[in-house]
Amino acid sequence: MSSQHTNDISDVPAVGADSPFRQEHALRDEAPQFVLPLVVRIEKAEPPARTDALETAARAVLVLLTDERAQGEGEWAEAVRDWQDARIRKVVRRARGAEWRKAGTLPGVTVHGDTSEVRVFPPVPLDGWPKELAKLQVSGTDLDDPEPVAAVEDPELPVLWLNPGLDMSAGKAMAQAGHATQLAWWELTGAERAAWRDSGFRLAVRTAARERWTELAGSGLPVVRDAGFTEIAPGSATVVADHPALRARL
């Protein structure tokens, strides 16, 4: 599967170019499985705010997908293609101090939020994590927002709406937010992708109001349905990707 169309400026949605959701990939569970590693920096004295960490992780996935090393004949391109040909698994681990510095020596990209740092790495085989990442903890990513999170007022801002009925750790929610941005990305045209990229991948993550969740999940916008490997039941709808360009096409 090629990702060569990622940067094309086109009025045709790019989903067919780099999404596994095509007929010939209906059996993607049979393909070799890869995982996208993300590491969030959590220092004891100054942990990041939860919402900022979720937003930073979501942007990190898009930064990886649009990195020149992930496209064409780039050094990460084959791994990214293999990963997208199978399940788009993502795992978030935490690091601090020396662990974070060691993780930073591996090929990847560090994305900064207001209070958070997330490093995203090219996909690795499910059982082939680099030792510097394999020893990092998955648990312990329970983060809080020290202040109430402001409502989204800008109708042009893409919003990833979390299911209010699910209790997810910050690490799990970060992975789900990353899935949501990827699903939205696959459905955008080349011109819409370019506009989002030029904005610095502006987005927000918010928990939907309970009375609105059913409407969002059934609206036709991209919905993440979890495979159920950790924390929540298989098939659970976790996030709706509400990108204004996609909303305008409903």
Q: pLDDT digits over 130-156, tens only? A: 999 999 998 767 899 999 999 999 999
Task: Determine the pLDDT at residue 10.
Answer: 40
According to the model, what pLDDT value does residue 140 have?
67
Give the residue ranges of the chain where pLDDT is below 70.
1-29, 140
**Which pTM value belongs to this model?**
0.89
Percentage helix, strand, coil, to 5, in the chain?
35, 20, 45
Q: Which helix (H) or strand (E) holds 21?
A: none
Choose among 132, 120, 126, 35: nearest CA to 83: 35
Alpha-carbon distance 141 to 68, whole Å?
Answer: 30
DSSP E strands: which ranges in the chain?
34-41, 89-95, 109-112, 117-120, 124-125, 159-162, 204-207, 223-225, 237-242
pLDDT at residue 139, rounded to an integer: 76
Q: What is the pLDDT of residue 61?
A: 98
Give the span between the Cα atoms of 155 and 134, in whole angstroms: 40
pLDDT at 75: 98
Helix (H, G, I), strand (E, B), or coil: what is residue 181?
helix
Q: What is the pLDDT of residue 1?
A: 28
- Check residue 8 and give its pLDDT: 34
With vertex at residue 139, the alpha carbon angle to CA 135 and CA 144, rounded to the nearest 5 degrees, is 130
Q: Cα 236 to the chain's mean position, in Å?
A: 17
User: CA neighbours within 13 Å on the CB side: how many for 137?
Assistant: 9
Tokens of 49: 């705010």
Tokens of 116: 């958070």
The reported pLDDT for the residue numbered 13 is 54
